[in-house]
Amino acid sequence: MITRRGILAGLGLTVAATMWGTAGPSLAADTIKIGEINSYTRLPAFTIPYRNGWQLAVEEINAAGGVLGKPLQIISRDDAGKPGNAVKIAEELVSKDKVVMLAGTFFSHIGLAVTDFAKQRKVMFLASEPLSDAIVWAKGNDYTFRLRPSTSMQATMLAEQAAKLPAKRWATIAPNYKYGQDAVAAFKAALKARKPDVEFVEEQWPALFKIDAGATVRAIAAAKPDAIYNVTFGGDLAKFVREGSLRGLFKGREVVSLLTGEPEYLDPLKKEAPDGWIVTGYPWYAIDTPAHKKFVAAYQAKFDDYPRTGSIVGYNTMLAIAATIRKAGSTDRDKMIAAMKGISFDSPTGNVTFRSVDHQSTMGAYVGRTAVKDGKGVMVDWVYADGANYLPNEAETRKLRPAN
DSSP 207-256: PTT---HHHHHHHHHHT--SEEEE---HHHHHHHHHHHHHTTTTTT-EEE
- The answer to whether position 344 is within a domain reads yes
User: Is 26 a residue whose pLDDT tops 60?
Assistant: no
135-155 mean pLDDT: 97
**Are residues 253 and 369 part of one domain?**
yes
- The answer to whether position 401 is within a domain reads no
182-202 mean pLDDT: 97
- The answer to whether position 403 is within a domain reads no
**Are residues 178 and 133 part of one domain?**
no
**Are residues 197 and 306 part of one domain?**
no
The count of domains in the chain is 2
Q: H-helix or E-strand containing 158?
A: helix 151-162
Within 10 A of 381 (CB to CB), how many other CB atoms are there?
10
Parallel, antiparallel, or unpaired for β 350-353 and 365-373?
unpaired
Q: Which residues pair with 229 in a beta bridge?
A: 172, 256
Written as one letter, the residue type at 228 is I
Note down the domain range covering 226. 152-286+365-394
**Are residues 8 and 21 part of one domain?**
yes
User: Is 18 a residue whose pLDDT tops 70?
Assistant: no
- The answer to whether position 188 is within a domain reads yes
**Are residues 209 and 281 part of one domain?**
yes
User: Is 401 a residue whose pLDDT tops 50?
Assistant: yes
- The answer to whether position 343 is within a domain reads yes
CA distance 12 to 35: 17
- The answer to whether position 317 is within a domain reads yes
Within 8 A by CB and 6+ apart from 49, the residues are 2, 264, 305, 307, 308, 309, 310, 311, 314
- The answer to whether position 402 is within a domain reads no
Predicted pLDDT at 20: 63
- The answer to whether position 399 is within a domain reads no
Residue 115 maps to which CATH number? 3.40.50.2300
Predicted pLDDT at 2: 38
User: Is 326 a residue whose pLDDT tops 80?
Assistant: yes
Written as one letter, the residue type at 130 is P
**Are residues 314 and 251 part of one domain?**
no
Longest dimension (CA), the chain: 64
**Are residues 156 and 82 part of one domain?**
no
Instruction: Please choose, from the candidates 123, 107, 116, 120, the residue with its C-alpha nearest in 3D space to the C-alpha of residue 139.
Output: 116
CA distance 117 to 173: 31
The sheet carrying 72-78 orders its strands as 18-20, 72-78, 32-38, 101-104, 125-127, 144-146
Q: Rounded mean pLDDT of the chain?
A: 93
**Are residues 32 and 10 part of one domain?**
yes
Sign of CA dihedral 17, 20, 26, 27: negative
User: Is 391 a residue whose pLDDT tops 60?
Assistant: yes
User: Is 25 a residue whose pLDDT tops 70?
Assistant: no
**Are residues 228 and 131 part of one domain?**
no
**Are residues 164 and 204 part of one domain?**
yes
**Are residues 270 and 181 part of one domain?**
yes
**Are residues 385 and 263 part of one domain?**
yes
pLDDT band at 203 (very low <50, low <70, confident <90, very high): very high
